[in-house]
Each structure stands twice: as C-alpha cells, then as structure tokens.
Amino acid sequence: MLEYLPIILAGIILGIIAGIITGLTPGVHINLVSAILLSLAPAIALHAPLYAICALIMAMAITHTFIDTIPSIFLGAPDDDKALGVLPGHRYLLRGNGLMAVKLCVVGGIIGSVTAAVLFLPLQWLITALYTYARPFLFWVLLAIVAFTVVKDRKRMWALLVFMLSGTFGLIVLRLPLKDPLLPLLSGMFGIATLLYSINENQAMPPQRDECYTQLDAAKTILGGACGIVAGILTALLPGISASAAASASSQGAKLGDHGFLILLGALGSAGFTLSLAAYLGIEKARNGAMAVIVMLSQIDGTMTLVLVSVSLIATGVATLLTLRLGRSAAWLLPRLPYRQTCIAVIAFVALLVMLRAGGLGLVVLATSTTVGLLPAALKTARAQAMGCLLLPTLFYLY
C-alpha cells in the first residue's frame, strides 16, 4: 500500500476539488459523480490503482458534507441531508449571523467525523447488533416518534394534516419514474417554499457579521453531536430512511434549539458516510450510492478500511478550512446583491436543474411540493411536519 501513497494523495486532492464543486452546486450529488467514476474505472485502472478512486470518492463525500452547508444557509438550496437545516440557517441569516450558522455546522461536522473514526469499531459492532436484534421493532419506534412529533405540536390537527398530506405526496413521488425524486420533492418542500415566504414577507438579507469567535453552548453542542451520531446509525441501519428523516427522528424530545440542530446536521453529514462503511463491514449492506461504488471497486479489508477512515479525517481538516473561507466570502458578497432578485434567480436555477434532471414531471412535483411546503407557515404549525414526505414512506417500508 505504501507504494501507492502518492497516487492516493492525488486522489484525495481530486476528491476535495470534486467535493467543492458538488457542495456548491445544488442538485449535483456525489452519487452521480461516483457513478461516472465507476463507468470510467476500466480506463482509469490502466494508469492508476483503484485504491485511488476509492480515496477520491471518500474525500469527495466528506468535503461535500461540509461545503454544501453554504448554499443551504445562504441560498436556501439544500441537499437531502441539509433540508431541515434551511429554516434554522435562514433564521440565523436574517439576524446577520449566516456565517455563525456555517460555523456551527462545521463544528458538528468535526464532531461527527472524529467520533465516527475514533469509535469506528464499537459503532460497527453496535450497528451489527442493532440490525440483528432491534430491526423488527424499528417500525414501532419510528411510529412512536412520529406520534410524539404531532402530539407535541400546539396545533395538533393541522400538524396531522400537514404530516399526512406531505406523507401521501411523498409516497406518490417515490413511485414515479423519476431518476432523482428527492431533488424536486425536497427542493420545493423546504428550499423554494422558504424563499417564496421570504419574498412575500419582504425580507432582506442584512449585512452579515464576521466574528472570529463563535460562542458555543456546551450542552447543546454535545447533545446535537450525539443526536447526529444516532441519526447516522439510523441511516446505516435502514435503507429506506433519508438523512433528513433520520435527523428529524433522532432530535425528537431533545431541546436542541437552532444552535444544537445545526450541530446535529453537521455531525450527521460527516459521520453518516463513515458509518455507512461500518455498516457494510458489519451487515454487508452499502447504504448509499457512493459507498456502493467503493465496494464494487475494491475489496474492503482491514487495510482499505484504515485508508478510508484516514482519508475521511484528512478531508475533514481541509474541508473545515475551505468551508470557513468560502462561507466568509459568501457572507461578504451575498448581502451586497438584491435579495429579492437573488431568491428569484435561485428558484429559477433550481427549476432549470429539475427540468434537466427530471423533465416536465419533475417540474410538476417541484410545484406541488412547494405548495405543500407553504402550508406549515400558513397554518402556523411546525415545518418539521412536512418531513412526513419521507417518514411516512419509511414507515410503509418498515411495515
């Protein structure tokens, strides 16, 4: 393996560059890039070992989870794992603390990545044990969490209505012949709906504070990081549950606030991919497309596991610095742009992306999910109820 070290380092550098591109470009997912690399693998193998491609994918995935925080917070254009973070991030943004929201996600990302690496073996054993003994009861656990979410809402009937409506719509969308159904579903439900609400309320992006020091709430930081690890374990256990649904489920009953929830999302993003490697080693299930490509490219033995975990830590360090630098640039630039026109431009870009990826049917899904996403604000109920679009299909899958 040592003779391959220079080419592996080259793969890490290319992976970080790819992660920057996918992270800053809404809708361009690491699974798509991984699939392209898989198709090119025979040609690449003539010039470089497949270890390098695996390192590239791992570095890209970790970097992506850090960088995609920026468009999620500043533009309201989230990937799946950051969909629920749009609202807390938006509230920070409107208070002039968008960069602070980015920093909180970065702190969570560091917690998740380091925890998943240091506790890799214990977490692998835990995932294996839970999959063996607890999986038959996960339906009832998730159902109890959903019931608790609805009951604790001050407007329970409206909350139940939003949950069932979004859940039914999610069931329909996930059965449509779309290549990437989550793109129009979540972009409309959480991204465009938030932007339209901002435009309707005549909100404007205030000047963003650039403070070198960000005060952390120790209790919420620790709790958010722990909930992020739990959410990562859920995504590793269940093929039908998305990152956003796992985040919603793992945070129920925990008093995280916006501060702790952004920590949770950062921890989930970085830990989730490392835990998907642990899940493959423990239960032989690749829980996401990028990990499935790694498994197809190389045998995951002890040496390869050590390489991939090491790559995740290297990428975490580099991505932390890059995210803070790019986030500071976004905080300086975006308030100088007309906010209403910026929101409209982002909506148009997302619509164009959906049309290119999913055609006219995708645009119909985008428009409908946006309408459903506006209901919580209109009915004065929690936006988390709209996660029914993923939680209800997950319940059907588990049942």
To 5 degrees, how large is the angle CA 244–CA 247–CA 250?
A: 150
Contact 294, 58 (CB under 8 A): yes
Q: State pTM to two decimals.
A: 0.78
pLDDT in tens, 269-293: 888 888 888 888 888 777 677 788 8
For residues 15 and 146, the model is more confident at: 15
Tokens of residue 208, six digits = 């963003």
Could you write out the DSSP letters of every residue in 185-246? HHIIIIIIHHHHHHHHTT---PPPP--S-----HHHHHHHHHHHHHHHHHHHH-TT--HHHH
For residues 106 and 339, the model is more confident at: 106
Exposure string over 335-368, b if 16+ CB within 10 A, otherwise e: beeebeebbeebbeebbebbeebbeebbbebbeb
- Please enumerate in sequence order all residues whose Cβ is within 8 A of that of 369, keeping only pairs 6 or more positions apart, or say none: 169, 173, 184, 185, 186, 187, 188, 189, 193, 389
Give the other-Cβ count within 10 Å of 2's Cβ.
6
Query: What is the average pLDDT across 88-99?
Result: 80
Residue whose tokens read 């025979």: 42
Give the other-Cβ count within 10 Å of 321's Cβ.
11
pLDDT in tens, 208-241: 877 766 778 888 889 888 888 988 888 777 665 6
Question: What pLDDT score was predicted for residue 357?
Answer: 78
Contact 211, 226 (CB under 8 A): no
Question: 212: domain range?
Answer: 2-398
Question: What pLDDT score was predicted for residue 79?
Answer: 56
- Count: domains in the chain: 1
Q: Is the confidence at residue 153, as pLDDT, over 70?
A: yes
Question: What pLDDT score was predicted for residue 385?
Answer: 79
Query: What is the average pLDDT across 178-182?
Result: 79
Question: What pLDDT score was predicted for residue 67?
Answer: 92
What is the C-alpha to C-alpha distance for residues 11 and 31, in angstroms, rounded to an integer? Answer: 17
